[in-house]
């Protein structure tokens, strides 16, 4: 079953956690000093925020799926529409290990589709200092698959 995913970059995490906790009527399921995530059931959504630099606002959209089979099926559906994808198997990002792929819509909005394999103790395989999108780290849409203006904005999950 798919879960809609939204990732927003915020300037002040504590203020945004307070706001979204009130809006959703729930505390985050994951709360770190630079990241928070709500796994909502109504609507079924993975809503994440981070304060790791970058332009404030919607960072990327996507789908979280429950299995690699579902990930493969969605990828095939996108490719069948002649849409380019960039695979990232075993990505270490947003305190999780995931198999994923990235694409973008015609307006340049990055889309991430992923299957979470398990948790990890840090934001990602990249350190805070080397986590720039240009580094091509797993916490970012691959720069080769998206325009430079979007790459500067995109984080991970």
Q: Supply the pTM of this predicted model.
A: 0.77
Tens of pLDDT, residue by residue over 114-153, are 999 998 888 776 533 333 333 334 455 555 444 444 444 4
33, exposed or middle or buried, with CB in 10 Å at 0-12, 13-18, 19+? exposed
CATH number at residue 42: 3.10.180.10
Rounded Cα distance, 95 and 75, in Å: 23
- Residue 93 located in a structural domain: yes
Tens of pLDDT, residue by residue over 7-24, are 999 999 999 999 999 999
- Residue 70 located in a structural domain: yes
- Residue 103 located in a structural domain: yes
Please tell me the least confidently modeled range out of 9-23, 59-73, 94-108, 136-150.
136-150
- Residue 17 located in a structural domain: yes
Reference 75, options 101, 97, 99, 106; nearest CA is: 101
- Residue 101 located in a structural domain: yes
- Residue 33 located in a structural domain: yes
- Residue 157 located in a structural domain: no
**Domains held by the chain: number:** 1
Vertex 44: Cα angle to 84 and 81 (nearest 5): 20
- Residue 156 located in a structural domain: no
Range of the domain at 28: 3-151
Q: Residues 108, 149: contact at Cβ < 8 Å? A: yes
Of the two residues 86 and 145, the one the predictor is more confident about is 86
């Amino acid at each position: 079953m798919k879960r809609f995913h939204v990732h927003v970059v915020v300037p002040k995490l504590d203020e945004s956690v307070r706001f979204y906790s009130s809006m959703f009527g729930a505390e985050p399921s994951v709360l770190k000093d630079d990241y928070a995530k709500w796994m909502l059931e109504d609507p079924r959504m993975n809503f994440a925020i981070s304060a790791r630099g970058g332009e404030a606002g919607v960072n990327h959209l996507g789908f979280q799926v429950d299995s690699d089979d579902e990930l493969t099926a969605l990828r095939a559906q996108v490719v069948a529409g002649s849409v380019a994808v960039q695979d990232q198997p075993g990505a270490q990002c947003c305190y999780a290990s995931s198999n994923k792929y990235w694409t973008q819509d015609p307006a340049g909005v990055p889309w991430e589709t992923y299957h979470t394999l398990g948790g990890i103790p840090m934001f990602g395989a990249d350190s805070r200092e080397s986590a720039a999108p240009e580094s091509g780290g797993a916490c970012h849409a691959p720069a080769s698959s998206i325009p430079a203006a979007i790459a500067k904005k995109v984080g991970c999950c």
